[in-house]
DNA sequence: AACGTGACAGCAAGCGCTTTCTACGTGTCC
DNA sequence: GGACACGTAGAAAGCGCTTGCTGTCACGTT
């Protein structure tokens, strides 16, 4: 039925061992023999049996990429960059690795299960993207799992996620706190004193860090924050829309709205506009991430650009062992404030 | 070193066969025995060896999803929907399948190589999304590969891709031609007679079908098309920006620009605005796909909504054998015209 | 002329699991 | 009370590949 190594061997008049060595190319094989084998492979249309090969060799060429939401370009861009370095077919790398992206949907259980699945497949490496969930129990479970993976020789790289010390993972984190602070400081310098903040889901590190940066900026300028100015939601446009209406209801005198990310900011803009407010004349709006569509918003969105592509590529290279991990196994990547039309001084 | 089935068996005082049966749950095992085994599994922290299991059972729980560009929400949304139905951890389905998305970057070679990799892993199913490349040679190679996969028992589903007859694949195609026609007809009804068209890459089916729909609408209304009115580019914002400037250079009297998709349309809007033209007063703009950000564009984008989530979910279910394939193995999914602020009658 | 030395090729032992077939009680029925 | 079925567990034969080790030549060396 299906063609096996033995079939190829028979046709090429060599032993299975030789065929295997030709295919893996890590053992001297005479040119003439190699040719004969390759010809047989071609004629028989032979396709290696991955599982069998992985079993015998005790390694696989699978590399897992975990993302929170594959429909969100934030993750898509990182995944794309990681994958381009992982190799995969046609990638920059040599070997043919199967880079697979797994969508956790932000669910802690799924995250864990995917890790187990990857462990089960004896993945060569795993890259975890995006913020982590801040639940002590889940964090412990994750750390243990990561520890197990690294112990088993799987390289684990975190991209945009805080370090899990003692787990053997390499971390490339984003300076969300610094970015958040810089962004809010920009608004304060423009003269804003009453700033609404639309945060992401409560329990995520990314959410907390960005919010902390925002608050640090307020504190640094002696602005006392009104609890009504902060609303939590999801990282999507819809959430930004609803949260903004809520914010407006709570305090119609706000002169600026800072959003957890660009999608949320877009939703905020829509809500403001529908409420008859002009941007930035009546209310300034700021986002985070600088996704491709942000520059096309009207007015263009002031935001913090995160080097997603660069960070992803680097994470990919580290995962493949083609770049030295940062000293200490952790490094923080800074964002860059992009001042655009959606922010201006408050109405007089 | 690593814990194996045999270790668990020893600890639970049963045979390896019994452990396997407990884990797979398709054979009667006494409750007390099962419990003992499960306890041992837990204590030993046993993780099944995927490759070994796949080898012995001659099947795997891998499901591949091929996308052209993972950073593009168009694909992200579909992938997300497919994955939610595939199961994956926490998905609606029961079994734990590893749904993996592979990014071809639109490259024919990569597409083929990924298919081989998936074949090598003995994937349970494969879903191909997005348009196909219209190169006779590549098409033949793809068809042959798909044929081989289906012959080997891998279910292959095409989502948003024209049917490859005789390959055994199930096809869910988008009615790009009809959508394109409807969109352009809307513009014509508004009174436009000089319409620019920014197409996608030449050799893609999606590009061709949308363009054909556009031309059909023009023809149906007796409008003779000027060859200068069509520019080809990529499916991204940058391309839309550049193509629009080119279009304006070629014929500054155009009153409408139809874009290959929403990202392109956004780029077009930016270019028009920078050229001092108002939307829709001076020039109307229309997109395709209705991605989430399109409604937030200013003015909101008139476009054709494609039911990406529904189609993806359906493709996923079919791939899992949980839904009957459409009769004849192919069905066309219609888009819905969304008329919004970016289109209006031409200036008088 | 005998012998070390590479360069290749083959043998065979697994890798860790699944699954068919067989074996062994019990409970049941006539 | 013996035959039979039923429910459950084990033995063992692979699944298709990799790789350590063992040949076997054809040379070059002394």
pLDDT range class, residue A91, cuts 50, 70, 90? very low
pLDDT at position A173:
96
Q: How distant is C1' of C14 from CA of A56, in Å? A: 8
Is the Cβ pair A52, B49 closer than 8 Å?
no
pLDDT at position B95:
56
What is the least distance, in Å, from the CA of B45 to any CA of chain A?
A: 10
pLDDT range class, residue A26, cuts 50, 70, 90? confident
Contact B319, B61 (CB under 8 A): no
Handedness of CA B100, B105, B108, B109 (dihedral sign): negative
What is the least distance, in Å, from the CA of A345 to any CA of chain B?
A: 22
Distance between CA A75 and CA A66 in Å, rounded? 9
- Tens of pLDDT, residue by residue, chain B (348 residues): 689 999 999 999 999 999 999 999 888 899 999 999 999 999 999 999 999 999 999 988 899 999 999 999 999 999 999 999 986 544 433 457 888 899 998 899 999 999 999 999 999 999 999 999 999 999 999 999 999 999 988 999 999 998 877 889 999 999 999 999 999 999 999 999 999 999 999 999 999 999 999 999 999 999 999 999 999 999 999 999 999 999 999 999 999 999 999 999 999 999 999 999 999 999 999 999 999 989 988 899 999 999 999 999 999 999 999 999 999 999 999 999 999 999 999 986
Is the Cβ pair A71, B77 closer than 8 Å?
yes
Give the mutation candidate from A42, A44, A51 for the B interface (greatest B CB count, under 10 A).
A51
Query: Residue A25 above 90 pLDDT?
Result: no
Contact A320, A257 (CB under 8 A): no
Nearest to A79 among B53, B70, B269 (CB): B70
Nearest to B89 among A54, A80, A113 (CB): A113
Could you say which residues from 290 to 319 on chain A have a Cβ atom under 8 Å away from some Cβ of chain B? 292-293, 295-298
Is the Cβ pair A270, B51 closer than 8 Å?
no
SS3 B291: coil
Question: What are A253's two structure tokens?
Answer: 């005198």
Contact between the CB of B4 and strand C at under 7 Å = yes
Provide the strand spans (E) within B250-340.
256-259, 284-286, 303-305, 330-333, 336-338
A6-to-A15, A57, A145 alpha-carbon distances in Å: 8, 17, 38
If we measure between CA atoms, which residue out of A224, A288, A277 comes closest to residue A255?
A: A277
Per-residue HEC secondary structure of chain A comes to CCCCHHHHHHHHCCCHHHHHHHHHCCCCCCHHHHHHHHHHHHHHCCCCCHHHHHHHHCCCCEEEEEECCCCCHHHHHHHHHHHHHHCCCCCCCCCCCEEEEEECCCCHHHHHHHHHHHHHCCCCEEEEECCCECCHHHHHHHHHHHHHHHHCCCEEEEECCCCCCCCCCEEEEECHHHHHHHHHHHHHHCCCCCEEEEECCCCEHHHHHHHHHHHHHHHHCCCCCCHHHEEECCCCHHHHHHHHHHHHHHCCCCCEEEECCHHHHHHHHHHHHHCCCCCCCCCEEECCECCHHHHHCCCCCEEEECCHHHHHHHHHHHHCCCCCCCHHHEEEECCEEECCCCCCCCCC
pTM over 0.85: yes
For the segment A288-320, what is each residue's pLDDT rounded down to a tens digit? 999 998 998 889 999 999 999 999 999 999 999
Could you say which residues from 257 to 276 on chain A have a Cβ atom under 8 Å away from some Cβ of chain B? 263, 266-267, 269-270, 273
pLDDT at position A165:
76
Give the mutation candidate from A103, A242, A278, A297 for the B interface (greatest B CB count, under 10 A).
A103
pLDDT range class, residue A264, cuts 50, 70, 90? very high
Give the mutation candidate from A60, A89, A298 for the B interface (greatest B CB count, under 10 A).
A89
What is the least distance, in Å, from the CA of B28 to any CA of chain A?
A: 25
pLDDT at position B26:
81
Lowest-pLDDT choice from A6-15, A238-247, A266-275, B83-92? B83-92
Which residues, in sequence order, are CB contacts of A1 under 8 Å at separation 6+? none
pLDDT at position A95:
56
Contact between the CB of A18 and strand C at under 7 Å = yes
Q: Which of residues 11-50 of B touch strand C (CB under 7 A)?
A: 16-17, 20-21, 23-24, 26-27, 46, 48-49
Q: How distant is C1' of C11 from CA of A15, in Å? A: 9
Is the Cβ pair A101, B105 closer than 8 Å?
no
pLDDT at position B1:
67
Mean pLDDT of chain A: 93
Distance between CA B218 and CA B211 in Å, rounded? 11
In DSSP terms, B256 is beta-bridged to B195, B284
Which residues, in sequence order, are CB contacts of A301 under 8 Å at separation 6+? A262, A265, A266, A285, A286, A287, A290, A294, A295, A340, A341, A342
Average pLDDT for A67-86: 94
Nearest to B76 among A70, A105, A152 (CB): A70
What is the least distance, in Å, from the CA of B180 to any CA of chain A?
A: 23
Is the Cβ pair B51, A48 closer than 8 Å?
no
Contact between the CB of B26 and strand D at under 7 Å = no
Distance between CA B149 and CA B264 in Å, rounded? 35
pLDDT range class, residue A93, cuts 50, 70, 90? very low
């Amino acid at each position: 039925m299906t063609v096996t190594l033995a079939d190829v061997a028979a046709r090429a008049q060599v032993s299975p061992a030789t065929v295997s060595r030709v295919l893996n190319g890590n053992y001297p094989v005479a040119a003439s023999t190699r040719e004969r084998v390759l010809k047989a492979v071609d004629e028989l249309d032979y396709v290696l049996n991955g599982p069998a090969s992985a079993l015998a060799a005790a390694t696989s060429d699978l590399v897992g990429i975990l993302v929170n939401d594959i429909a969100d370009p934030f993750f898509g861009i990182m995944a794309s960059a990681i994958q381009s370095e992982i190799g995969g077919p046609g990638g920059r790398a040599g070997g043919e690795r199967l880079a697979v992206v797994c969508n956790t949907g932000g669910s802690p259980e799924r995250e864990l299960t995917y890790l187990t699945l990857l462990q089960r497949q004896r993945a060569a490496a795993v890259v975890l993207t995006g913020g982590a969930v801040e639940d002590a129990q889940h964090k412990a479970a994750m750390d243990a799992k990561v520890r197990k993976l690294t112990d088993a020789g799987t390289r684990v790289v975190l991209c945009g996620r805080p370090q899990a010390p003692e787990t053997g993972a390499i971390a490339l984190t984003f300076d969300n706190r610094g970015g958040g602070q810089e962004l809010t400081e920009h608004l304060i310098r423009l003269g804003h004193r009453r700033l609404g903040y639309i945060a992401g889901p409560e329990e995520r590190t990314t959410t907390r860090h960005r919010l902390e940066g925002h608050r640090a900026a307020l504190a640094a300028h002696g602005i006392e924050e009104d609890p009504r100015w902060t609303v939590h939601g999801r990282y999507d446009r819809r959430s930004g829309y609803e949260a903004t209406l809520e914010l407006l209801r709570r305090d119609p005198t706000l002169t600026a709205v800072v959003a957890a990310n660009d999608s949320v900011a877009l939703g905020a803009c829509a809500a403001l506009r529908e409420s008859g407010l002009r941007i930035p004349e009546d209310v300034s709006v700021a986002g985070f991430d600088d996704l491709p569509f942000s520059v096309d918003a009207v007015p263009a969105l002031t935001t913090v650009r995160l080097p997603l592509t660069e960070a992803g590529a680097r994470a990919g290279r580290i995962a493949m062992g083609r770049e030295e991990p940062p000293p200490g196994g952790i490094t923080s990547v800074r964002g860059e404030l992009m001042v655009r039309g959606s922010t201006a001084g408050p109405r007089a």
